[in-house]
Amino acid sequence: MEIKSIERVDIKDFGKTTTGVVFKIHVKIHDIEKRAKDIIQSISNESWITNLGIVEQLSYAARAKKTIEKLVTEIFEKVENTVTEEFGEYLVSQSAKDSLIIHLKHSNIPLAEMW
C-alpha cells in the first residue's frame, strides 16, 4: 500500500460547516494478493482485546470470530490479482483505517464490520 497524497479538505469549499477535520487520502495498492494477506493478519490479530473488560471480550468472541473466519475463508484467501466487489469493500475500509493510523496517528481498532 502506498500513500500517493494526503491533504486536508476545507469543507467550506463545499458550502458546509463543521467542527470536524476532513482529509483526502489517495492510496495505491500495488499487490492485491499481499494486501489481502495483510488484511487477514490485521483482522486476526486479537492482541488489542486484552485491553477490554470481560463483557466486551465475550461480546467480541460471540460476534466477531465467526465473521472473521467467514471473511478469511470465503473472501480474502481467494484473492489473487483482481478485486471482487466483496473484497473491494474491505480493501477500501482497511486501507483507509491503516492510512489514518500511519499518517494521522489514529488508534488501531478493528473495523466495525467485524462486530
Q: How many CB atoms lie within 10 A of CB 42?
A: 14
Query: What are the residue ranges spanned by the domains of the chain?
Result: 31-114
Contact 99, 47 (CB under 8 A): no
Predicted confidence pLDDT, tens digits, the chain (115 residues): 899 999 999 999 999 888 888 899 999 999 888 888 888 888 877 777 788 889 988 887 777 778 888 888 888 888 877 788 888 888 888 999 999 999 889 888 777 766 6
Contact 88, 39 (CB under 8 A): no
Note the pLDDT tens digit of each residue in 36-61: 888 888 887 777 778 888 998 888 77
Angle CA(26)–CA(27)–CA(32) in degrees, nearest 5? 155
- Which alpha helices (H) appear in 7-111, and where do they start and end? 32-44, 54-74, 85-104
